[in-house]
């Protein structure tokens, strides 16, 4: 329920604050006075699109603020928590600002929020019914929505939607898997060729390339290695002036020293150890020399092997490790592609089972709707009789959206994006006795649409205690007794809901619990929209004006007083 509405610099409004109460509140005034501006401002708080033209001329921004009383606490709390917003279980303060570029900002309880969030919570706060929504009554989806609301189908609708969404997700997965058969085979062929190319090289280990490079270095320099080791051996042991011969001479000298001076014995021992080491080096050089391999064929094989490894690295990775990793990856892809047929068969079975579940649940929903229609039909006939449409016949034509000729494919059976089951409905009426039933869109006048909408809202909002219903132009195309019937219906609705109504008809306005007069005045040489709540005396004058215009005679005032008195009894 809306408790207050504050509007600044919006259209012709400079600053207006309205305090709303429970019951039925009427907004009246001459044509063009700005009554719909109040409804438009309320629409902004509920996420309607804003334009810079809405800002009052001469100002940089417009601000609309509304205070709402919470009545669906659990549902709203969950929405707020999902969005990470603080939630007050008693009141919601919404502020909408429009700036010159038309974008503006929105706040809830002083927390900045995206405009889209307002649209998420609007159905929990206010329903605005104007000519645009009356036109939406021509839409089959809207008609189905009314039937479901009356049938109280929310739980089973959630189940149907869940199964439908699950099916759609499965179809997307299957579509990704169902690549063109020729493309699939080409991919398998390409990956198999790559894997065969890698496996032919038969990479032994991640270190193989490094080991081969070391071996290639030795083989390619075998001549130099032979010459260097042979010469070193000659110099140490074999040549005429070899180090071995010189060391022998030094040992003889040390022997003479030792014979004379026993202190040289240790020195000679050290020398002999060094001589043995040099002799071992010489023997190792001879062994190394004789072991040097000169194998051109082996060298050629290594060069070829390294070349093959290099080709693999250029194609499949920067190292042997990466090449081996890539090989494992494409092995898995080949297995997956070759096994996709089996996977598809499994998914097809899952799809069939899911479709069976969906159809079973959707048929149950359809059955509930068809049973509920009989009650809705009776309720509508009663409501329309009270709205001076007692001779109107109301029916619903049920159409299945299943295409039986195309099998059980949900993609073929259901329009893309539907999640409301297998029904399509069309409201049918015959407003006059003896006329055939025809689609609502083809036969109903503006006044009839207004009354049908009001009848539907009366029936379908019984359980919405505390919600605000706004009716703009509900009196289009009606008058006299019909207008009085509409007023009574709005009064009935206001017993369980807060109702705001914009009207031009005195018969409807007389049923108000709270009455606001909207007019244009000149303030500081500028035209502004002024709104004031009327006392009983001023209400009589306003209703009299609505009856006869500006000329208020005694009879007109008496008639206005009678209208008010009758509506209160």
The answer to whether residues 433 and 392 touch, using CB atoms and an 8 Å cutoff, is no
Cα distances (angstroms) measured from residue 490 to each of 41, 164, 425: 22, 38, 27
Predicted TM-score (pTM) of this structure: 0.59
pLDDT at 404: 46
Rounded to an integer, what distance in angstroms lies between the CA atom of residue 152 and that of residue 144?
A: 12
Counting residues of the chain whose pLDDT is more than 70, the rounded percentage is 92
541-564 burial string, b = 16+ CB within 10 Å, else e? bbbbbbbeeeeeeeebbebbbebb
pLDDT digits (tens, 9 = 90+) for 35-53: 888 889 999 998 888 888 8
Mean pLDDT of 116-135: 77
Counting residues of the chain whose pLDDT is more than 90, the rounded percentage is 25
The answer to whether residues 545 and 534 touch, using CB atoms and an 8 Å cutoff, is no
Res. 365 pLDDT band, cuts 50 70 90: very high
pLDDT digits (tens, 9 = 90+) for 523-568: 888 888 999 999 988 999 999 999 888 778 889 899 899 888 887 7
Rounded to an integer, what distance in angstroms lies between the CA atom of residue 99 and that of residue 107?
A: 14
pLDDT at 514: 94
Closest to 504 measured CA to CA, from 458, 549, 448, 536: 549
Mean pLDDT of 389-414: 67
Residue 185 has pLDDT above 60, yes or no: yes
Res. 414 pLDDT band, cuts 50 70 90: very low
Low-confidence winner among 153-167, 249-263, 451-465, 503-517 (lowest mean pLDDT): 451-465
Closest to 76 measured CA to CA, from 141, 120, 133: 120
Indicate the average pLDDT of the chain. 84
Residue 94 phi/psi, 5° resolution?
A: -115, 135
pLDDT at 130: 65
Token pair 């005396």 in the structure block, residue: 537
pLDDT at 370: 92
Residue 400, SS3? strand
pLDDT digits (tens, 9 = 90+) for 325-335: 999 999 998 88
For the chain, the residue count is 569
pLDDT digits (tens, 9 = 90+) for 373-390: 999 999 988 888 888 788
Residue 478 has pLDDT above 80, yes or no: no
Residue 415 has pLDDT above 50, yes or no: no
Tell me how far apart the terminal alpha carbons of the chain are, to the nearest angstrom: 26
Closest to 533 measured CA to CA, from 561, 513, 548: 513
Mean pLDDT of 129-144: 70
Give the residue with greater pLDDT, 78 vs 196. Answer: 196
Q: What architecture is the 1-125+467-534 domain classified under in CATH? A: 3-Layer(aba) Sandwich (3.40)
pLDDT at 259: 84
Mean pLDDT of 160-171: 90
List the structure tokens of 389: 């449409």
pLDDT at 16: 93
Q: Sign (positive/negative) of CA torsion 157, 160, 163, 169?
A: negative
pLDDT digits (tens, 9 = 90+) for 206-257: 888 888 888 788 778 777 887 888 888 888 877 777 887 888 888 888 888 8
pLDDT at 216: 84
């Amino acid at each position: 329920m809306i408790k207050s509405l504050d509007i600044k610099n919006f259209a012709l409004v400079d600053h207006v604050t309205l305090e709303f109460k429970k019951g039925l509140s009427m907004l009246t005034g001459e044509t063009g006075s700005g009554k719909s501006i109040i409804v438009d401002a309320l629409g902004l708080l509920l996420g309607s699109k804003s334009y810079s033209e809405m800002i009052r001329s001469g100002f940089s921004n417009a601000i609309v603020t509304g205070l709402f009383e919470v009545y669906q606490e659990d549902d709203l709390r969950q929405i707020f928590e999902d969005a990470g917003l603080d939630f007050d279980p008693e009141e919601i303060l919404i502020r909408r600002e429009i700036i010159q570029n038309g974008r503006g900002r929105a706040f809830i309880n002083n927390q900045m929020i995206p405009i889209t969030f307002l649209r998420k919570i609007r159905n929990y706060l206010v329903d605005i019914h104007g000519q645009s929504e009356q036109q939406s009554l021509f839409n089959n989806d809207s008609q189905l929505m009314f039937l479901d609301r009356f049938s109280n189908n929310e739980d089973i609708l959630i189940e149907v939607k869940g199964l439908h969404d699950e099916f759609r997700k499965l179809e997307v997965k299957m579509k990704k898997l169902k690549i063109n058969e020729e493309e699939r085979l080409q991919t398998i062929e390409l990956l198999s060729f790559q894997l065969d190319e890698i496996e032919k090289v038969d990479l032994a280990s991640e270190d193989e390339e490094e080991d081969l490079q070391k071996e290639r270095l030795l083989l390619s320099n075998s001549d130099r290695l032979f010459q260097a080791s042979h010469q070193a051996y000659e110099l140490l042991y074999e040549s005429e002036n070899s180090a071995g011969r010189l060391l022998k001479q030094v040992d003889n000298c040390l022997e003479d020293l030792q014979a004379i001076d026993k202190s040289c014995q240790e020195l000679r021992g050290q020398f002999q150890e060094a001589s043995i080491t040099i002799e071992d080096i010489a023997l190792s050089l001879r062994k190394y020399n004789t072991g040097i391999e000169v194998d051109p064929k082996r060298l050629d094989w290594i060069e070829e092997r390294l070349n093959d490894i290099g080709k693999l690295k250029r194609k499949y990775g920067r190292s042997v490790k990466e090449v081996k990793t890539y090989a494992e990856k494409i092995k898995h892809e080949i297995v997956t592609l070759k096994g996709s047929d089996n996977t598809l068969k499994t998914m097809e079975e899952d799809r069939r089972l899911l479709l069976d579940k969906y159809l079973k649940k959707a048929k149950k929903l359809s059955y509930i709707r068809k049973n509920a229609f009989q009650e809705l039909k009776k309720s509508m006939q009663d409501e329309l009789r009270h709205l001076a449409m007692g001779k109107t016949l109301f029916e619903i034509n049920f159409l299945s959206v299943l295409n039986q000729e195309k099998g059980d494919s949900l993609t073929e059976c259901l329009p893309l994006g539907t999640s409301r089951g297998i029904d399509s409905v069309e409201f049918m009426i015959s407003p006059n006795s003896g006329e055939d039933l025809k689609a609502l869109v083809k036969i109903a006048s503006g006044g009839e649409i207004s009354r049908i909408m009001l009848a539907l809202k009366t029936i379908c909002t019984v359980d919405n205690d505390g919600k605000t219903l706004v009716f703009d132009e509900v009196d289009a195309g009606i008058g006299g007794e019909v207008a009085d019937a509409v007023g009574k219906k709005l009064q009935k609705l206001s017993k369980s809901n807060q109702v705001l109504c914009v009207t031009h008809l005195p018969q409807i306005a007389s049923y108000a619990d709270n009455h606001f007069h909207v007019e244009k005045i000149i303030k500081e040489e500028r035209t502004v929209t002024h709104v004031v709540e009327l006392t009983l005396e001023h209400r009589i004058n306003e209703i009299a004006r609505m009856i006869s215009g500006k000329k208020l005679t005694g009879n007109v005032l008496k008639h206005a007083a009678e209208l008010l008195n009758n509506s209160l009894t």
